[in-house]
Amino acid sequence: MKKWGVVLALLLALTCIASAQETGIIADLLKRSAKEKVARMQQLIGFDNDKANQLCKLETTFLLEVWKVETCSLCNRKKRVGKLKTKREADLQKILSRDEYIKYQSLEYELLNENVPVWLSINSRTGEVPDCR
């Protein structure tokens, strides 16, 4: 009887340790992802390092909270993620100027293609570039 108790306690301890390591690995990946995203946005938009640090914290917190919601089995995921997105948008507007915020959103939602100049306009029906003379 005592052996089973010890074995059960060891299995429980190993399970807790494994889940803690997994959480740490996922958190590190999310932090790295947020840093890379903010660095790319800073390079494209050109905001200062102070804003970049604030955005990195904001994006990391947002990603961690979304991950927690997605792993919660009893949560209303859609509603909670919606609230997190709304809070993130409000915080982005506090950190960035209006122009920077619009560019950030445009790049994030891929409304602008980074590799194509904004001034280039192609007719979607014919595929022709307009003559600008």
pLDDT in tens, 60-72: 999 999 998 888 8
* Amino acid identity at 130: P
- What is the distance of C-alpha 72 from the center of its chain? 18
Structure-token match 């052996």, residue found? 3
> Confidence band (pLDDT; 50, 70, 90) for 54?
very high
Give tens-digit pLDDT for 13-53. Answer: 656 555 545 567 888 888 999 999 999 999 988 899 999 99
* Amino acid identity at 31: K
Tell me the pTM: 0.66
Token pair in block for residue 83: 């609230």
